[in-house]
Structure 1
Amino acid sequence: LVDYITITSQEAAEVQDLPSIFERHADYFPVGVALDERETVGAAAELTTRHFNQITAENHMKVEAWFSGNSWDDRQFGIHPQAEALMDFAQDNDMGMYGHTLVWHSQTPSWFYADANGDPLTNSEADKQIMRDRMEEHIEDVARLLSEEYGLFGSEGNPLVAWDVINEVVSDSGEHEDGLRRSEWYRILGEEFIDLSFIYADRYFNDVYAAPGTDRPVTLFINDYNTELSGKQNRYYSLIERLLERDVPIDGVGHQFHVSLSLPVQNLDQTIERFRDFDLLQAVTELDVTVGEPVTDANIIEQGYYYRDAFESFRSHADVLYSVSIWGLTDNRSWRSAQAPLVFDAGLQAKPAYFGLMGDADSLVPRVRTALAFQGEVGLDSFDAIEWQTLPLNDVDFSAAFQTRWSGDQLTVYVAVDGAEDSVTFSVEGDETTVERGADNGTQATQEDGDIWEAIVQLPLAAEGAIGDELEFDVTVGDASWGDEGATGTLTLVEELSFTEIPEATVAPEIDGEIDDVWNDASVVTTGRTVEGSASTNATANVSLLWEE
Structure 2
Amino acid sequence: MNKEKGLIYKSFIFCLVVFSLGCKVAKNDSRELTLKEAFKDKFFIGTALNTGQITGSDTATIRVIKAHFNSIVAENIMKSGLIQPQQGNFRFDLADQFVAFGEQNKMHIHGHTLIWHSQAPRWFFTDEQGKNVSPEVLTQRMKDHISTVVGRYKGRVHSWDVVNEAIQDDGSWRKSKFYEILGEDFVKLAFQFAREADPKAVLYYNDYNMETPKKREGVVAMVKNLQKQGVQVDGIGMQGHVSLKHPTIEEFEKSILAYSDLKVKVSITEMDVNVLPTTWGNVGAEVSASFEYQQKINPYTNGLPDSVATAFNERYLSLFKLFTKHQDKIERVTVWGVNDKQSWLNGWPVRGRTNYPLLFDRNNQPKPVVKSIIQIARQQ
User: How far has the Cα of 1:360 moved from its partner?
Assistant: 5.9
Q: Distance in 2 between matches of 1:231 and 1:359?
A: 35
Alignment of 1:486-497 (within 5 A): none
- 1:303: how far off? 1.3
> What TM-score does the superposition give when structure 2 sets the normalisation length?
0.78
Please, which of 88, 96, 106 is the counterpart of residue 94 of structure 1?
A: 106
Aligned to 2:20: none
Structure 2 CA distance for aligned equivalents of residues 252 and 145 of structure 1: 22
1:118 aligns with 2:130: yes
Deviations 1:195-248 (Å, cap 9, x if unpaired)?
000000000011xxxxxxxxx2x1000000001112222212221221112221
1:195 maps to what in 2? 188
Q: Where does residue 288 of structure 1 map in the other structure?
A: 272
Alignment partner, residue 507 of structure 1: none
Identity, in percent, stands at 33
- Higher helix proportion, which one? 2
Structure 1 residue 257: Cα displacement: 1.7
Distance (Å, rounded) in 1 between the aligned partners of 2:232 and 2:179: 20
Gaps of 5+ in 2: 1-30, 278-298, 347-353
Higher strand residue share: 1
Alpha-carbon offset, residue 274 of structure 1: 2.1
Q: What corresponds to 2:91 in structure 1?
A: 78
Distance in 1, matches of 2:90 and 2:112, equals 17
Task: Work out whether residues 85 and 121 of structure 2, in 8 Å CA contact, stay in contact via their aligned partners in 1.
Answer: no
1:109 aligned to which of 107, 113, 121: 121
For residue 222 of structure 1, the aligned residue among 199, 202, 205 is: 205
Match of 1:252 among 212, 215, 235: 235
Give the 5 Å matches for 1:438-457: none
State whether residues 257 and 288 of structure 1, in contact with CA within 8 Å, keep that contact through their aligned partners in structure 2.
Answer: yes
Instruction: Determine helix, strand or coil for the equivalent of 1:336.
Output: helix
Cα displacement string for residues 476-532 of structure 1 (whole angstroms, at most 9, x for unaligned residues): xxxxxxxxxxxxxxxxxxxxxxxxxxxxxxxxxxxxxxxxxxxxxxxxxxxxxxxxx
Root-mean-square deviation (CA, aligned residues, Å) is 1.9
Q: Does 2:176 correspond to 1:167?
A: no
In the alignment, the residues of structure 1 paired with residue 376 and residue 90 of structure 2 have an alpha-carbon distance, to the nearest angstrom, of 47
Shift of 1:335: 0.8
Aligned partners of 2:276, 2:221: CA distance in 1, in Å?
32
> 1:312 touches 1:359 (CA, 8 Å); kept in 2?
no
Structure 2 counterpart of 1:341, one-letter code: P
Deviations 1:250-269 (A, max 9, x none): 10111002001112223222
User: For 1:326, which of 335, 345, 359 is the aligned residue?
Assistant: 335
| Misfit runs of 4+, over 4 Å | none
CA-CA distance at 1:82 after TM superposition: 2.7
Shift of 1:194: 0.4
- Conserved 8 A contact 2:321-2:376: no
The 5 Å alignment of 1:452-467 reads none
Q: Which of 64, 67, 70 is equivalent to 1:53?
A: 70
For 1:356-395, what per-residue CA distance to the aligned partner results, in whole angstroms no more than 9, with x for missing partners?
A: 322369xxxxxxxxxxxxxxxxxxxxxxxxxxxxxxxxxx
Distance 2:73 2:371 in 1: 23
- Supply the distance in 1 between the matched residues of 2:308 and 2:376 (Cα, whole angstroms): 18
**1:332·1:345 contact (CA, 8 Å) conserved in 2?**
yes
The equivalent residue for 1:342 is 358
CA distance in 1, matches of 2:250, 2:370: 20
- Give 1:60 deviation, angstroms: 0.5
Measure the CA separation in 2 of the matches of 1:143 and 1:253: 19
1:228–1:257 contact (8 Å) kept in structure 2:
no
After TM superposition, give the deviation of residue 300 of structure 1 in Å.
1.8
Q: Is the 8 A contact 1:308 1:358 kept in 2?
A: no
Query: 2:46 is aligned with what amino acid?
Result: G
Query: Shift of the alpha carbon at 1:135?
Result: 0.4
Number of residue-to-residue matches in the alignment = 312
SS of equivalent residue, structure 2 residue 162: strand
- Cα distance in structure 2, aligned partners of 1:234 and 1:356: 34
